[in-house]
Amino acid sequence: LVAFVLYLFFLVMPLGQALHAYTQLQTGLGALQRMHDILDVPAEQDAGTAAVTSGPVAVAFDGVTFAYAGAAQPVVRDVSFAVAYGTRTALVGPSGAGKSTLLQLVERFYDVTDGTVRVAGVDVRDLPRQVLRAQLGYVEQEAPVLAGTLRDNLRLAAPAATDAQMLEVLDAVNLADVVDRAPEGLGAQVGEGGVLLSGGERQRLAIARTLLAAPPILLLDEPTSNLDARNEVALRQAIDTVAHNRTMIVVAHRLSTVVDADQIVVMEGGRVVATGRHADLLETSDLYRELATNQLLVA
């Protein structure tokens, strides 16, 4: 019946409209599937009742191995490292090394196959989901920007935020000019999926949104794409501002994000192959030296 109704629907619509409707349907279904993937977690995954502790370690990976469901090989293998509060850790490595997957294990989009991920001293599986989420701000590479105004997008993270607070975070991520150039200010439309903004501006809007929610720990997947010089500088400054006095794990594709990191974790084939600071790793890790020579932009 549904197919028949859809058939009739498409039959009576002009082709252009039908194609547009079809595209929207596909987009909608994609979003729905994603939401379903996130919401459709087994009940026991939410069974944690532990409270966060107040030790010095924000995030710890301990012997973490992970394979995607149905995959023959793990994409993360026996990974161990710790991230202290107030420090910046950069994850670097070739495409497919498992860097983004590590962030998703902290967020608990997936559960480890072996080992433990701890946030604020507690196994993430033992924390109620809302307690875990309150600890974390996650900015994906293609961070979603919704049709609507700048204000709408910022309010997603902090419904009670004032205009003054919004302008402050937009300034922190170098987006003040986006507000200035629009007569509507914070009421400026960003377009469907944020098309009226550049890719770099979209990511910085997502960072601003996360800043408003002020989570203790930031997980950032830096965009791989080549940004123009202006956006490049704006992103670096935004990350520096955001990282100041905060805990951050960043999947880094730019040398400028890495050189000042307190800890750099070099990954290859799912494993940690070296850890250290920039100057040390240049001496001790052939892979790091190679990545750094190429300015790190892989994938």
Using the minimum distance from each CB to ligand ATP, give the nearer residue, 251 or 266.
251
Q: Judge contact between 152 and 197, C-beta under 8 A.
A: no
For residues 234, 237, 242, 246, the Cα torsion angle rounded to the nearest 10 degrees is 150
Using the minimum distance from each CB to ligand ATP, give the nearer residue, 48 or 270.
270
For residues 193, 195, 200, 205, the Cα torsion angle rounded to the nearest 10 degrees is -50
> CA gyration radius for the chain?
21
Q: How far apart are alpha carbons 297 and 237 in whole angstroms?
A: 18
Handedness of CA 257, 252, 59, 40 (dihedral sign): positive
Which three-class secondary structure state does DSSP give residue 275?
Answer: strand
x/- map, 81-100, ligand ATP, by CB under 6 A: ------------x-xxxxxx
Map the footprint of ligand ATP across residues 226-255, applying CB under 6 A.
Answer: 251
In which element (H, E) is residue 282 found? Answer: helix 278-284
CB of 104 to ligand ATP, least distance (A): 8
Interaction between residue 37 and ligand ATP (CB under 6 A): no
Phi and psi, residue 161, nearest 5°: -65, 140
From candidates 59, 77, 101, 210, binder to ligand ATP by CB under 6 A: 101
- CA proximity to 65, closest of 75, 56, 57: 75
Q: How far apart are alpha carbons 79 and 92 in whole angstroms?
A: 14
Map the footprint of ligand ATP across residues 56-75, applying CB under 6 A.
Answer: 68, 71, 75
CB of 114 to ligand ATP, least distance (A): 16
Using the minimum distance from each CB to ligand ATP, give the nearer residue, 96 or 185.
96
CB of 70 to ligand ATP, least distance (A): 8
Beta bridge partners of 139: 220
From candidates 51, 146, 195, 299, binder to ligand ATP by CB under 6 A: 299
x/- map, 153-172, ligand ATP, by CB under 6 A: --------------------
Active-site residues, by number, are 222
How many residues touch ligand ATP (CB under 6 A)? 13
CB of 30 to ligand ATP, least distance (A): 14
Query: Interface with ligand ATP by CB under 6 A: which residues?
Result: 68, 71, 75, 93, 95-101, 251, 299
